Amino acid sequence: MANHTTSANNAPAENIAQQLADFAVGVKASDLPKPVWDKSVHHIIDSIGIGFASHHFPFAAPGLKGIAVAGGSGEASVVGCALKLSARDAAMANAYLMHGLDFDDTHPGGIVHPTVACLPAAMALAEVQDQTWGELIAAYVSGMETCIRLGLAVKGGFHHAGFHATGLLSHFSAAVVAGKLLGLNAAEIVGAQGIAASTSASVQVFLEDGAWTKRLHPGLGASAGITAAHLVQNGFKAPLRPYEGRFGFFETHMQAHVGDVNYAAIVDGLGRDWALLDTAIKPYPVCHFIHGAAEAALRLHEQVKDKSRIVRITCELPAPTLPIVAEPAAAKVVPRSDYEAKFSAQFVVAACLLKGRFGLAELEDDALKDEATLALARRVTCIEERDSPFPLHFSGAVTIELDSGETLACRIPVNLGSGVRALTREDIVTKFHGTAGIVLSKERATQVVHALLDAKPETPARKMVEMLRT
């Protein structure tokens, strides 16, 4: 494996982009371990279901219309509608839909949503080029490993600097996916990553007002990655050291913290230890940072029949997550939109305690205005969780104090969907019916999910992707 001798700037002597490109070129569907293939299919099913569900919500139509008007017709499908767009625009549209509900997968260590750029880029190109399902999955896996491992190098550091990690890393992962499906050689895939370093950008200002830009971030990355691969394919000269070079990706985006970057994490075990296997599929449609606390609140729901007796709620969360999901508290307790609610630990914990569930229905307008939930949210105080395993898992704890002085507490060290608590095949199918079933009949949802589960490497990707149109 790689030589990790570091230079003065802590970067390995051997080019990271080259190692990622060499890996991508060598990935073949026939060589993938069965657990990697099976888990890839689960994540693909999960994101497609979310793509269908997003059509039910008001953000979908304006985004799709804007993408379509700016581009034009083409040969690539968009999940859940009749649109046919160019590969770049279809990738953007599908990524927008798949990330739109913040219900998509997350790698805990990398703190990144990897599927939502890799899959749309792979779907679009494999469809228009009439490639096989196996070729699509091989490219998807190559991009997933790229995205996750780049995230592992900083362990959430991008968020602390004000960047959205998924938005940043999607440019690189999509460039690798596109390069592989376009048949680029390793040197050309290096170049595609080099171009991606110039387009990679995504700021978290959306947290201030519930704007829709976060939903679009992986779409911008998927589109830019496809563009990067096409540019290199046609002779464009690109930077060759995008990650560790002077003024490269990590130096510019980590700045004073660039010394904390663990470059070895990107390439250690590449092709042997599959980071994809550690990626978690969400059981709740909220920011993954809240999942431990949400589950703790759900477990406490049955222990307090009369919720009016609750006088105080303490929610413990990993310290690095507090600025994102708990602060400023005055704004978090009264979310103005479904997206603000997804990033409000106070609202989510209150809803879980009160209702004993948290699904997409808990993000509808009426639910956001529910006075009982908002009153309970005002009683929630968020504090730092001591000895949290974060970011390995998204832990959390909830303690409630009753008017009698009695306290009840629950702590979740490993969030549902993560590690040894990964969702099963049956769980994935159930979730798909809960997401896709919002807009599809039960019979159609069953047909789609079983077709995805049963697809073989030689199955035409075009057949699989066109099946997702309505």
Encode pLDDT of 312-338 as tens digits: 999 999 999 999 999 999 999 999 999
Task: Give the pLDDT mean for 288-306.
Answer: 96
The answer to whether 418 touches 108, Cβ cutoff 8 Å, is: yes
How confident is the prediction for the chain on average, in pLDDT? 95
CB atoms within 10 A of CB 249: 27
C-alpha distances (whole Å) from 306 to each of 303, 309, 353, 402 are 9, 6, 11, 10
* Confidence (pLDDT) at 8: 38
Query: Is pLDDT at 210 greater than 80 in this prediction?
Result: no
CATH class of 16-278: mainly alpha
Q: For residue range 362-393, what is the model confidence (pLDDT) as tens digits? A: 999 999 999 999 999 999 999 999 999 998 89
Task: Give the pLDDT mean for 64-87.
Answer: 96
d(CA 399, CA 139): 45
What stretch(es) of the chain map to CATH 3.30.1330.120?
288-419
Of the ranges 4-8, 45-49, 192-196, 376-380, which one carries the lowest mean pLDDT score? 4-8
Calculate what percentage of the chain has a pLDDT beyond 70.
Answer: 97
The answer to whether 104 touches 113, Cβ cutoff 8 Å, is: yes
Query: Is pLDDT at 215 greater than 50 in this prediction?
Result: yes
What stretch(es) of the chain map to CATH 1.10.4100.10?
16-278
Query: Is pLDDT at 117 greater than 50 in this prediction?
Result: yes
Query: Is pLDDT at 5 greater than 50 in this prediction?
Result: no
Closest CA to 14 of 1, 27, 32, 31: 1
Kindly report whether the peptide bond that precedes residue 391 is cis, defined as omega within 30 degrees of 0: yes
Q: What value, to the nearest 5°, has the Cα angle with vertex 29 and ends 189 and 51?
A: 80
Backbone angles phi, psi at 179, to 5 degrees: -60, -40
The answer to whether 466 touches 77, Cβ cutoff 8 Å, is: yes
Q: Quick one: pLDDT band at residue 417, thresholds 50, 70, 90? A: very high
* Confidence (pLDDT) at 11: 66
Task: Give the pLDDT mean for 325-352.
Answer: 96
Domain 288-419 is of which CATH architecture? 2-Layer Sandwich (3.30)
Query: Is pLDDT at 4 greater than 70 in this prediction?
Result: no
Give the chain's largest Cα–Cα span.
74
Virtual CA dihedral for 130, 134, 136, 137, nearest 10 degrees? 170
Q: What value, to the nearest 5°, has the Cα angle with vertex 265 and ends 261 and 270?
A: 150
- Model pTM? 0.93
The answer to whether 371 touches 347, Cβ cutoff 8 Å, is: no
Closest CA to 119 of 111, 107, 127: 127
* Confidence (pLDDT) at 9: 54
Both tokens of 122, joined, read 């792979």
